[in-house]
Amino acid sequence: MTAAVFFGCAFIAFGPALALYIFTIATEPLRVIFLIIGKASEGLKSINPDETAPSMRLLAYVSGLGFGIMSGVFAFVNTLSDSLGPGTVGIHGDSPQFFLNSGAYPLIEKTRLNKTFMTLVIILLHVFWGIIFFDGCEKKKWSALLVVLLTHLLVSALTFISPHYGINLVSTYIIMVLMGIWAFFVAGGSCRSLKFCLLCQDKDFLLFNQRSR
């Protein structure tokens, strides 16, 4: 129960989400609003008639990130606060169940690590699911919606095999990678654009960066 544990777990679990937020959302006030509200709101779009209406993909990404952050935070924040030690948090007491089920100390560590990585993967999964789901709704691809739903249930079901954290985590990460690849192609990426991006040959991206400076 130290500050190191607290910060370590916090950044592992929320680092990518925070990075995504800072680099893609924080600069655009409209996107922040979408994040909070959780869904694309027509009313909010009407607030910004001058700017180009945010594309559906952007909304999908932002709302996926919003959902992911919320679910990750809700699942993980109590663990985080416990890792700071008793007495600094929860003057009115924590839920007794939480302590009862913590078990022995090594188990606490293992549990906390498992939660950390699960939170991270859940957040990313939500982002990808959001993109795929919105796209499926837009193009009326019901198979995509079904797959998203089923993988969601699958990931949840995997967490039921509670003590076997290793299998749980590894399979969830594999699903996350698959979803990520699918979302990438759904969002309009292609192998070519990926190559350009990695080799810094993407003219559009470079131009965009120039402009925004």
The footprint of another protein (CB under 8 A) covers 29-30, 32-33, 36-37, 43-44, 46-51, 70, 73-75, 77-79, 81, 88-95, 97-98, 100-101, 111, 114-115, 118, 122, 155-156, 159-160, 162, 165
Smallest distance, another protein to C-beta of residue 148, A? 15
Smallest distance, another protein to C-beta of residue 201, A? 34
Distance CA 28, CA 212 (A): 12
Distance CA 191, CA 185 (A): 9
Nearer to another protein, 156 or 190 (CB): 156
Nearer to another protein, 31 or 60 (CB): 31
Nearer to another protein, 78 or 193 (CB): 78
Smallest distance, another protein to C-beta of residue 90, A? 5
Nearer to another protein, 115 or 127 (CB): 115
The Cα-based distances of 12 to 19, 179, 197 in angstroms read: 11, 20, 26
Smallest distance, another protein to C-beta of residue 62, A? 13
User: Nearest 5 degrees, angle CA 149-CA 13-CA 185?
Assistant: 45
Nearer to another protein, 63 or 79 (CB): 79
Smallest distance, another protein to C-beta of residue 122, A? 6
Distance CA 134, CA 211 (A): 29
Smallest distance, another protein to C-beta of residue 14, A? 13
Q: Where are the alpha helices (DSSP H) in the chain?
A: 3-20, 29-37, 42-47, 56-83, 96-100, 105-139, 142-158, 165-186, 191-198, 203-212
Distance CA 4, CA 147 (A): 39
Residues contacting 105, CB < 8 A, separation 6+:
none
Nearer to another protein, 53 or 187 (CB): 53
Look at residues 115, 110, 108, 80 and name the one whose alpha carbon lies nearest to residue 94: 80
